[in-house]
């Protein structure tokens, strides 16, 4: 999706379209007053006070129609500059504009307004020359928005829209939005009963429903088994710790704004953990280590709590409570490159299994100017960043560098992906850390008998289960491969009276092979049940009637196909077991 804000020409056009919207609204609702109408990544919006009126679904086409009419009239858009006094006088009946003007400093801002026909708006500009140029636009949605984003203020009406230079571009964008809507994990999550949210629990704290929980469980078992085969040791540690733990690690100074506030208990001060590193440092510290024991890979499917802004939380993608596929790998300085490279290889192999292809590697570096976030040890940072570059170059991996994205404790390699609705976020991450082992005074005994400080690699391959599943839902558009699908086989008896017993018998047989299966024994028509099975994106639908019962076979329909195949139950089980093992994508 194009970032409209970053394209200068489109940005001007969209801003002009916001004015056109305001003018049309003023025609239809003469009492309307306007707050701000900025351009955003995916178009523009305008926040409007309609007095005691509010926008409804039917209003958007009417406003659009009025916008088209004004555009056809083709008035010029004319800029005037004015003094603060003139501006205050001109907008004296408009408390919103007075609020904006009052805060302007005449000495360093030129106050200007733009007039098109009968409508004038306070605006910095620039704009297109005539309203005629604003032709290919669409109003997309509306919502309530508190004035200045403060819940204590009045709720204004926010109308969103988008504008392009050509009809094709607009149509292409609308088709993209339609596809994004269909793919959106929040929509599919609801339809397939994967997860839900409830205001009583709070924003950013989704509830995994049984179907979603199955996907989560399969994912977590998969990654844990893989890690065990690669020499990881898994632990369980509490999701809570003392403030002192986080003071020791440095999170208290560098990560506090992402943490839930302190809980005071008797003489203790406790916090919910935002990260697991401090706990894992202490697991390492619990015993003595020789250089021969390293690398030590401590893994945990660990629960973390982060205070994400309520406006930023989104379905399963950005949450406040999460289950992280975390591990901290303790290495000698000589082992850094090999172990980091192993982690990158692991990421690539996991992505192959899930058929994840659309991603980029971001080398997240510190901002040397940001002395507050990053501890001041230039040599350490340069060395750590160079090591990561070397690993990537040796592995011949394309990447881009981003300054200021490093963790406070060290540089990171992040795998960046985009959600259906165009949010960019990090899926996997692998981070190098020379700081925390020092702060926790961790040691190992080196070959010469001296005590040395290990280096730590922090890594999350399948991210958090929340984020990874949100990505998978959108990646597969809800059509999960067999091994991940909550329901793998749906059995429909042609006639309950004659075939239900056989259906239940097949169900039992499949269950004994760990296949997730259900029998649809509702008194509905066969065609209806088949259609529903397709809508639910069940990988295999079995239709069992006389033929199947008499020959002790099954007939199946594979998701996405129209034909039915008849095979023996043994062959069917072999087929499924093979697909689960191979993680076949279809
Ligand atoms: C990898 N200490 C490291 C850990 O050892 C750490 O916590 N890194 S992190 O902050 O980058 O988080 C790891 C991963 O969790 C991120 O790459 C991202 O994929 C996922 N994640 C982070 N915040 C959220 C969130 N609010 N909701 C869902 N997933 C998140
Ligand atoms: Zn960590």
* CB of residue 429 inside a 6 A radius of ligand 1: yes
Q: Which residues contact 344 (CB under 8 A, 6 or more apart)?
A: 391, 392, 395, 397, 413, 430
Helices (H), 231-272: 243-249, 251-254
Which ligand 1 atom is nearest residue 428's CA? 17
* CB of residue 321 inside a 6 A radius of ligand 1: no
* CB of residue 277 inside a 6 A radius of ligand 1: yes
User: Do 47 and 37 contact (CB within 8 A), yes or no?
Assistant: yes
* CB of residue 426 inside a 6 A radius of ligand 1: yes
Q: Which of 270, 219, 280 is nearest to 244 (CA)?
A: 270
For residues 91 and 456, what is the distance between their CA atoms, to the nearest angstrom? 60
The ligand whose atoms approach the alpha carbon of 279 most closely is 2
Q: Which of 158, 459, 206, 222 is nearest to 320 (CA)?
A: 206
Which ligand 1 atom is nearest residue 430's CA? 1
On the 0-12 / 13-18 / 19+ scale of CB atoms within 10 A, 357 is exposed
User: Residue 52's pLDDT is what?
Assistant: 84
Pair of tokens at residue 537: 């994106």
User: Do 456 and 433 contact (CB within 8 A), yes or no?
Assistant: yes
Instruction: Give residue 321 CA to ligand 1 midpoint distance, Å.
Output: 11
Give the DSSP letter of residue 486.
Answer: S
Q: Which of 51, 118, 122 is nearest to 80 (CA)?
A: 122
pLDDT tens for the 586 residues of the chain, in order: 778 888 899 999 999 999 999 999 999 999 999 999 999 988 999 999 998 888 888 999 999 999 999 999 999 999 999 888 889 999 998 999 999 998 888 777 789 999 999 999 999 889 999 999 999 999 999 999 999 888 889 999 999 999 999 999 999 999 999 999 999 999 999 999 999 999 999 999 999 999 999 999 999 999 999 999 999 999 999 999 999 999 999 999 999 999 999 999 888 999 999 999 999 999 999 999 999 999 999 999 999 999 999 889 999 999 999 999 999 999 999 999 999 999 999 999 999 999 999 999 999 999 988 888 888 888 889 999 999 999 999 999 999 999 999 998 999 999 999 988 888 999 999 999 999 999 999 999 999 999 999 999 999 999 999 999 999 999 999 999 999 999 999 999 999 999 999 999 999 999 999 999 999 999 999 999 999 998 899 999 999 999 999 999 999 999 999 899 999 999 999 999 999 999 999 8
For residues 309 and 181, what is the distance between their CA atoms, to the nearest angstrom? 23
Pairing of strands 412-418, 444-445: unpaired
User: Among 322, 429, 431, which is best to mutate for testing ligand 1, by the most ligand atoms less than 8 A from CB?
Assistant: 429
Three-state secondary structure call for residue 378: helix
The ligand whose atoms approach the alpha carbon of 322 most closely is 1
Instruction: Give residue 463 CA to ligand 1 midpoint distance, Å.
Output: 6
Q: Which residues pair with 302 in a beta bridge?
A: 324
The model's pTM is 0.86
Pair of tokens at residue 249: 């690690």
For residues 29 and 561, what is the distance between their CA atoms, to the nearest angstrom? 53
* CB of residue 131 inside a 6 A radius of ligand 1: no
For residues 323 and 303, what is the distance between their CA atoms, to the nearest angstrom? 4
* CB of residue 460 inside a 6 A radius of ligand 1: yes
* Cβ-based neighbour number of residue 569 at 10 Å: 16
Q: Which of 51, 80, 67 is nearest to 16 (CA)?
A: 67
Residue carrying structure tokens 């509905």: 524
Q: Which residues contact 67 (CB under 8 A, 6 or more apart)?
A: 17, 20, 21, 23, 24, 134, 137, 139
**Distance set, CA 517 to CA 194, 279, 489, 573 (Å):** 17, 40, 5, 12
User: Residue 375's pLDDT is what?
Assistant: 81
User: Residue 374's pLDDT is what?
Assistant: 86
Q: Which residues pair with 403 in a beta bridge?
A: 365
């Amino acid at each position: 999706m194009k970032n409209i804000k970053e394209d200068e020409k489109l940005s001007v056009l969209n801003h002009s379209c916001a004015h056109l919207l305001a003018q049309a609204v003023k025609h239809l609702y003469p009492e309307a007053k306007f707050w701000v109408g900025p351009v955003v990544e995916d178009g523009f919006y305008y926040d409007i006070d309609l007095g005691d009126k509010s926008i409804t679904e039917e209003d958007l086409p009417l406003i659009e129609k009025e916008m088209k009419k004004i555009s056809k009239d083709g008035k010029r858009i004319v800029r005037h500059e004015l003094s603060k006094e003139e501006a205050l006088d001109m907008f004296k009946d408009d408390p919103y504009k007075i609020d904006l003007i009052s805060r302007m400093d005449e000495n360093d801002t030129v106050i200007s307004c733009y007039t098109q026909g009968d409508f004038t708006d306070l605006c910095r500009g620039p704009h297109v020359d005539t309203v005629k140029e604003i032709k290919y636009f669409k109003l997309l949605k509306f919502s309530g928005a508190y004035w200045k984003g403060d819940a204590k203020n009045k709720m204004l009406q926010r109308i969103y829209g988008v504008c392009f230079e050509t009809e094709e571009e607009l149509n292409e964008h609308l088709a993209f939005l339609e596809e994004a809507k269909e793919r959106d994990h929040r929509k599919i999550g609801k339809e397939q009963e994967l997860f839900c949210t409830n205001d009583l629990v709070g924003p950013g704290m989704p509830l995994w429903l049984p179907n979603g929980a199955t996907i989560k469980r399969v994912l977590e078992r998969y990654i844990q088994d893989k890690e065990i085969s690669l020499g990881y040791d898994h632990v369980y540690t509490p999701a809570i710790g003392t403030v002192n733990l986080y003071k020791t690690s440095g999170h208290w100074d560098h990560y506090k704004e992402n943490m839930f506030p302190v809980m005071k208990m008797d003489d203790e001060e406790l916090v919910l953990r935002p990260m697991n590193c401090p706990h894992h440092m202490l697991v390492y510290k619990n015993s003595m280590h020789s250089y021969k024991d390293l690398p030590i890979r401590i893994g945990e499917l660990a629960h973390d709590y982060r205070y994400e802004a309520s406006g930023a939380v989104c379905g399963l993608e950005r949450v406040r409570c999460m289950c992280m596929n975390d591990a901290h790998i303790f290495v000698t300085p000589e082992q850094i490159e090999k172990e980091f490279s192993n982690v990158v290889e692991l990421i690539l192999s996991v992505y192959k299994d899930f058929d994840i292809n659309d991603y980029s590697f971001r080398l997240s570096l510190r901002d040397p100017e940001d002395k507050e976030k990053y501890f001041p040890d230039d040599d350490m940072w340069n060395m750590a960043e160079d090591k990561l570059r070397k690993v990537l170059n040796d592995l011949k991996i394309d990447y881009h560098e981003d300054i200021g994205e490093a963790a406070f404790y060290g540089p990171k390699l992040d795998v960046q992906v985009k959600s259906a609705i165009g949010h960019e976020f990090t899926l996997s991450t692998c981070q190098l850390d020379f700081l925390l082992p020092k702060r926790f005074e961790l040691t190992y005994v080196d070959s010469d008998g001296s005590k040395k400080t290990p280096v730590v690699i922090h890594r999350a391959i399948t991210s958090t289960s929340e984020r990874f599943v949100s990505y998978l839902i959108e990646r597969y558009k809800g059509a999960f491969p067999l091994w991940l699908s909550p329901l793998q086989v749906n059995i429909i008896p042609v006639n309950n009276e004659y075939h239900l017993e056989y259906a239940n018998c097949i169900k039992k047989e499949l269950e004994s092979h760990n296949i997730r299966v259900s029998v649809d024994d509702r008194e509905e028509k066969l065609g209806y049940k088949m259609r529903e099975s397709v809508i639910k994106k069940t990988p295999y639908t079995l239709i069992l009637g006389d033929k199947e019962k008499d020959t002790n076979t099954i007939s199946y329909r594979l998701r996405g196909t129209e034909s039915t195949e008849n095979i023996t139950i043994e062959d069917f089980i072999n087929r499924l077991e093979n697909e689960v093992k191979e993680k076949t994508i279809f």
